[in-house]
Amino acid sequence: MFVDPRSRQLRQELEQLAPRSISVLIRGETGTGKELLARHIHRASDRGGLFVSVNCGAISPTYADAELFGYAAGSYSSSASSRAGWFGSANGGTLYLDEIGDLPLPIQIKLLAALENHEVTRVGAHQPSPVDVRLVAATSIDLAQAVAAGKFHERLYHYLSEGQLELPALRERVGDILSLAEYFLGIYSQRLDLSVPLISEAAQRVLERHSWPGNTRELENVIHFALLVSTGDEILPEHLNLPNEGLGQIEQQLKQILTNGTDAEQEALKQILKDAGLL
């Protein structure tokens, strides 16, 4: 699935970090597949506990303490029983914090204390509880800049930086696009009980030339859509629902003009292509 040299290098780094017990910080744009990387780290480790995924941006600042560290019975008017929280749920396993930069500073400080002391104190409890959690965090922002701006705790940043992985944007690893597209085709064809279509050469060119602002997640959605709307055994450019989906037909029209057009048409087209920097 990973063909591009940058991806192969990332796989080597991943295999080195995964078996170790250190925290890992995964950096990359939204949609690059950071959680998939985190899950691979957990599977490749010797931790027998659960993989618990938390979106920090979705945590309510009011209840962040309780959600992360849990609460004792009677802490809230509606809490008849205690709750372990995300740390307790991940005890013995891996806690994945997506977009960790979204955590409020006071919670960052408590998170650092929990990681350093290997214990958490539930809201309303009087005694801490031991926890054994490996943290894998992800961010799409520059945490070093956030530290400089006073928006991220410096010691927590250094704690997370024990192991770092950079997940390149899809546009920076063009060599992976077609292999990923075929991978997603296989997945969704199996789910929908359909035969796996081929990706036409024209569609391949469209995929490789698209900038993929939504990264791997966008590619997955595009392939899923193409499989649903294609009627034959081949994915064509018009099935991709991308801005340049008609590129194959346009190329044919341009070739037709350059080959069989009048002198005036050919000169006009050449000037357009030259002005656009394509000739």
Q: How far apart are CA 68 and CA 96, in angstroms?
A: 12
SS3 letters for the chain? CCCCHHHHHHHHHHHHHCCCCCCEEEECCCCCCHHHHHHHHHHHCCCCCCEEEEEHHHCCCCCHHHHHHCECCCCCCCCCCCECHHHHHCCCCEEEEECHHHCCHHHHHHHHHHHHHCEECCECCCCCEECCCEEEEEECCCHHHHHHCCCCCHHHHHHHCCEEEECCCHHHCHHHHHHHHHHHHHHHHHHCCCCCCEECHHHHHHHHHCCCCCHHHHHHHHHHHHHHHCCCCEECHHHCCCCCCCHHHHHHHHHHHHHHCCHHHHHHHHHHHHHCCCC
- In single-letter form, the type of residue at position 22 comes to I
Percent of the chain topping pLDDT 90: 60
Residue 28's pLDDT is 95
What does the pLDDT average to over 154-163? Answer: 93
Residue 246's pLDDT is 47
Whether 212 shows a pLDDT value over 50: the answer reads: yes
What does the pLDDT average to over 140-148? Answer: 95
- In single-letter form, the type of residue at position 51 comes to F
Whether 9 shows a pLDDT value over 50: the answer reads: yes
Average pLDDT in the chain = 86
Q: How far apart are CA 262 and CA 55, in angstroms?
A: 60
Structural domains in the chain plus CATH codes: 5-168 (3.40.50.300), 173-275 (1.10.8.60)
Q: How big is the chain by its Cα radius of gyration, in Å?
A: 25
Cβ atoms of 41 and 94 closer than 8 Å: yes
Instruction: Enumerate long-range contacts of 237-240, CB under 8 Å, 24 or more apart.
Output: 237/200, 237/202, 237/203, 237/206, 239/203, 240/203, 240/206, 240/207
Torsion of CA 244, 248, 249, 251, to 10 degrees: 100
Residue 62's pLDDT is 83
Residue 242's pLDDT is 87
**What digits encode the pLDDT tens for the residues 222-261?**
999 999 888 789 999 999 988 755 444 445 555 666 666 6
Confidence of residue 20 (pLDDT cuts 50, 70, 90): confident
What does the pLDDT average to over 94-110? Answer: 94
Cβ atoms of 25 and 146 closer than 8 Å: no
Q: How far apart are CA 226 and CA 194, in angstroms?
A: 13
